[in-house]
Amino acid sequence: MKSLRTAVIGCGGIAQTHAEVLSTQATAQVVAYADVKLERAKALAKKYGGNAYGSMEELLDREQVDVVHLCTPHPLHTPMAQLAAEHGIHVFSEKPPAVNEAQWEAFAALENSRVRIGVCFQNRYNVGTQFLKDLLAIGKPGKLLGARAFVTWYRPAEYYTDSDWRGSLSTEGGGVLMNQSVHTLDLLCYFMGRATGVDASLSNHHLQGVIEVEDTFEARVDFDGRPAVFFATTGHVTDSPVLVELVCENATLRVEEPEVTVRWKDGSVEHHSLTVPVSPTTGKSYWGSSHGICIADFYDSILTGKPFRNDIPGIRNTAELLLAAYRSARNGQA
């Protein structure tokens, strides 16, 4: 199969996972890395091969690439995706695609460009998520009536004070929802479909005076008459597994990766301890371990022309719900 020429933009934490995944993938050949902290780009280039640059612009001037991976802070995803698309380059962007409505409008408009755009909501590829999707598709659980989702993680003050972008509204755009738990909001949309309303609130319980963004976010989301309750915090004592529970007519389906529990209406209970596929890099288990599968699927979709699960239409509901949830929380209105 053809190998696409790839560049990674932003060479901090998550770029390590992208670079490791790409180094094992036959459909990709990473030719260059860029970071404003040039030493970070050089470190990845030294480890995996390729050239290092101090900016995306310089890299695009000097290299012929087919795909870029955007591993930069959130507010840079949209402008960098636009720049890549102008150069006719496919984009695999880390989440979130956009931090405000104007950015989302610009990002969504890239659907009409000639390049493929994918967003890294890798948890859609997790084994437990797939198990529940397949079970729902068979129809035995019956109609989905509602859901609940909990993200209870820990981020200490240093997580923010050691970063030059996290914790500030202008450079992170939001806190626990925008950054950590947008994946779980995405899973609710992946299971429930299009959200039609949201009533939300946010607070900062444990890092007041340290961060401007929220450490806790709660919402009740209406999925066309079916409610979902959502709670996320980084004020817990540890990174507990994310819980998603789907209430259906004939069963309640619960996933805490990679464990799935199905409680049937007749009282019988099934437990499934699923096997996580071996991946070149599993990342941190509480993020979900599916970067490798998600990235491979994006390249496959470029090379075969098949639709990509996390393309712009595929993630539109999540991106719009994310921004609507912040509007509701900040304005105090559903």
Ligand X SMILES: NC(=O)c1ccc[n+]([C@@H]2O[C@H](COP(=O)([O-])OP(=O)(O)OC[C@H]3O[C@@H](n4cnc5c(N)ncnc54)[C@H](O)[C@@H]3O)[C@@H](O)[C@H]2O)c1
Report, in Å, the least distance between residue 36 CB and ligand X: 4
The answer to the question of residue 79 lying near ligand X (CB under 6 A) is no
Phi-psi category of 332—alpha, beta or left, where left has phi over 0 and alpha has psi -120 to 50?
A: left
Considering beta carbons, is residue 55 or 130 the nearer one to ligand X?
Answer: 55
What minimum distance in Å lies between the beta carbon of 322 and ligand X? 12
Say which residue the tokens 């720049």 belong to: 83
By the rule CB under 6 A, 323 interacts with ligand X: no
Order of strands across the sheet that contains 269-273: 197-203, 216-223, 226-233, 144-152, 243-248, 251-256, 259-264, 269-273
d(CA 42, CA 128): 37
Judged by CB under 6 A, the chain residues 180 through 239 that form the site for ligand X are none
Q: Print the binding letters for residues 8-47 with ligand X: x by CB under 6 A, - otherwise.
A: -xxxxxxx------------------xxxx--x-------
Identify which range of 72-80, 99-107, 239-247, 295-303 contacts ligand X by CB under 6 A: 72-80
User: Are the C-beta atoms of 116 and 180 separated by less than 8 Å?
Assistant: no
Q: What are phi and psi of 330, to 5 degrees?
A: -80, -30
Tell me whether residue 44 or residue 144 sits nearer to ligand X (CB atom).
44
How far is C-alpha 32 from the chain's CA centre? 23
CB of 34 to ligand X, least distance (A): 5
Q: Does residue 72 interact with ligand X by CB under 6 A?
A: yes
Residue count at the site for ligand X (CB under 6 A)?
26
Residue 163, interface with ligand X (CB under 6 A)?
Answer: yes
Q: Does 313 bind ligand X (CB under 6 A)?
A: no
Pairing relation of β-strands 259-264 and 226-233? Answer: unpaired
Q: How far is the CB of 321 from ligand X (least distance, A)?
A: 17
- Options 25, 103, 179, 310; binder of ligand X; rule CB under 6 A: 179
Q: Which is nearer to ligand X, 9 or 198 (CB)?
A: 9
Among 8, 44, 45, 71, binds ligand X (CB under 6 A): 71
Half-sphere exposure of 22 (CA within 13 A, CB side): 30
- Per CB under 6 A, 122 contacts ligand X: yes
Under rule CB under 6 A, residue 94 binds ligand X: yes
Residue 147 in contact with residue 245, Cβ under 8 Å?
yes
Give how far Cα 149 sits from Cα of 96, 146, 181, 186, 220, Å.
19, 11, 10, 11, 10
Q: Which is nearer to ligand X, 58 or 111 (CB)?
A: 58
Q: Which two tokens stand for residue 138?
A: 């068979």
Judged by CB under 6 A, the residue of 20, 22, 73, 126 near ligand X is: 73
Q: How far is the CB of 182 from ligand X (least distance, A)?
A: 8
Write down the least CB distance from residue 24 to ligand X, Å. 18
Burial environment of residue 72 by CB neighbours within 10 A (0 to 12, 13 to 18, 19 or more):
buried
Q: How far is the CB of 237 from ligand X (least distance, A)?
A: 21
CB of 16 to ligand X, least distance (A): 8
Helix 77-86 and helix 101-109, axial crossing angle in degrees, nearest 10? 20
Q: Which stretch binds ligand X (CB under 6 A): 68-76, 83-91, 209-217, 224-232?
A: 68-76
User: Which residue lies nearer to ligand X by CB, 25 or 252?
Assistant: 25
Note the residues at the interface with ligand X (CB under 6 A): 9-15, 34-37, 40, 55-56, 71-74, 76, 94-95, 120, 122, 163, 179, 287
